[in-house]
Amino acid sequence: MQELKTLSKEELEGLDVPRISPSYLAEQSKGKVYIESYGCQMNFADSEVVTSILMTNGYSTTDNIKDADTILLNTCAIRENAETKIRHRLRGFHALKSKNPLLNIGILGCMAERLKTKLIEEEKIVDLVAGPDAYRDLPNLLEQLSTEDKAINVFLSREETYGDIEPVRLHSNGVTAFVSIMRGCDNMCTFCVVPYTRGRERSRDLASILSECQTLFEQGYREVSLLGQNVDSYKFEDPTNGQIISFANLLEKVALIHPDLRVRFSTSHPKDITDEVLHTMAKYENICKNIHLPAQSGSNRILDLMNRTYTREWYIDRINAIRSILGESCGISHDMIAGFCTETEEDQSETLSLMDYVQYDFGYMFSYSERPGTPAAKKYVDDISEEVKKRRLAEIIEKQRFHSGIRNHMLIGTIQKVLVEGDSKKSDLHHYGKCDSGKVVVFQKQKEQKGEYVFVKITQCTTGTLLGEITNI
């Protein structure tokens, strides 16, 4: 493990890039905005960019929906039930709108991009629709609502990364923060709506990422999660020297900001995760040994129909590389889809046997939901009954619970370095935080504060949490 060094003052100054800061002191607020976020971490990170843009333009935010002049829902379109949830929520707003006809209701994010004007036509109470690349236009769109009854911008961009915008951290614990490093996705997994809602893949400029992470560290944050749909394909040409920065290079530069700043990242694509990334993780203690590597299925036939562009054997080779370069304790999690088109019981057993091979620490598991306009919706029949999907999903979840239990149990008796994130949800006498491999650890408070590292001896576990006691080493 190499010795860590912090960046020098000159190096830090070199990171200076023009940044737009929100004017918290906007003399007269143009109105109060309430934002609710759904979907993936990237969407939550986008809400922080949206808040920054609005505050810079004289709006203020509120956590109380009843005080709001504008309600914005930042939405997800990944599965049908994600959209159903939003439609229910919108119907619930009818009462608010009838009490206050001047209230603006806006839809942002992936569902806005997917449905475009349909949302205004179908959900009669929606006034504003803005897609993921249109957030800089939000102040104009809101302005437009003072003279017109609707405002829409759903243009997708090939360049927008919001790199110059300093996000306003929402509902933050002051210790961990998300940092978007890229947008969009160029993979064409046949089941997935993301390439249509988020557009082409583009990487954010290096200097703005490093400067955001540096600022977070100076503000007391101790963990950054670098976000992208496929972080391994991060690629940026450094304008100062023409050098191409890969994801491994970026990880190293973020890790060098300070040894006390932990670095996590998500999501890795099995076809792109390189040994170089794994060796970089091994080299720096502060890059957490925790990899989210969605498999989606364990069957080659289904992986091919999904256009995931890797095989079960390739996936297993990547798992073996993780285990040999980073060791058995590296946390590995997955996404799995049950009941994709034409999936047989044999395909399902391949998925279960892949899970047995890997013994994942954690997983996000879904039953297949056909999304209109995707290649799968156009080419294949969604022919697995809801009942079968449900049963297969239950089998996958059951297996995961079993493996999570085993993996957590293995840590009993070990000492874990934990970053304290705050009070445990269940007790004021306990703190919680995460260990290196990403598991939540709960322990009785001593003198430690939020944002500090402690060593915890693990004494017990559930399938979701580790329990332990602070120990001096």
Q: How far apart are the first and last CA of the chain?
A: 19
Give the footprint of ligand F3S on residues 196-215 (CB under 6 A).
197-198
233 touches which of ligand F3S, ligand SAH, ligand SF4, none (CB within 5 to 8 A by kind)? Answer: none
77 touches which of ligand F3S, ligand SAH, ligand SF4, none (CB within 5 to 8 A by kind)? Answer: ligand F3S
Torsional class of 212: left (φ above 0), alpha (ψ -120 to 50), beta (otherwise): alpha
Give the span between the Cα atoms of 110 and 75, in whole angstroms.
6
**Contact positions vs ligand SAH (CB under 6 A):** 78-79, 191-192, 194, 229-230, 267, 269, 294, 296, 335, 337, 366, 368-369, 371
Does residue 202 sit in helix, strand or coil?
strand
Residue closer to ligand SF4 by CB (options 167, 184) is 184
Give, in order, the Cα–Cα distances in Å from 90 to each of 24, 97, 120, 305.
29, 10, 11, 35
Note whether 230 binds ligand SF4 by CB under 6 A. Answer: yes
The answer to whether 273 and 318 have CB atoms below 8 angstroms apart is yes
Torsional class of 20: left (φ above 0), alpha (ψ -120 to 50), beta (otherwise): beta
Residue 284 CB partners (closer than 8 Å, separation 6+): 1, 2, 4, 251, 252, 255, 256, 263
For ligand F3S (CB under 6 A), the number of binding residues is 13
Task: Indicate which single residue of 78, 165, 177, 273 sits in contact with ligand F3S (rule: CB under 6 A).
Answer: 78
Residue closer to ligand F3S by CB (options 76, 277) is 76
Q: Identify the residue whose tokens are 């939000």.
A: 138
Question: What's the sign of the alpha-carbon dihedral 63, 27, 138, 66?
Answer: positive
Nearest 5°: the CA angle 452, 216, 420 is 20
371 touches which of ligand SF4, ligand SAH, ligand F3S, none (CB within 5 to 8 A by kind)? Answer: ligand SAH
366 touches which of ligand SF4, ligand F3S, ligand SAH, none (CB within 5 to 8 A by kind)? Answer: ligand SAH
Q: Build a one-symbol-per-residue string for 184-203: x at contacts with ligand SF4 by CB under 6 A, - elsewhere.
A: -x-x-x--x-xx--------
Note whether 110 binds ligand F3S by CB under 6 A. Answer: yes
**Minimum distance from residue 198 beta carbon to ligand SF4 (Å):** 8
Q: Build a one-symbol-per-residue string for 233-272: x at contacts with ligand SF4 by CB under 6 A, - elsewhere.
A: ------------------------------------x---
Note whether 337 binds ligand F3S by CB under 6 A. Answer: no
The residue type found at 396 is I
User: What length does the chain have?
Assistant: 473
**Minimum distance from residue 37 beta carbon to ligand F3S (Å):** 9
Residue closer to ligand SF4 by CB (options 194, 456) is 194
Residue closer to ligand F3S by CB (options 71, 227) is 227
Give the span between the Cα atoms of 236 and 47, in whole angstroms.
24
- Please give the residue ranges that form the binding site for ligand SF4 (CB under 6 A): 185, 187, 189, 192, 194-195, 229-230, 269
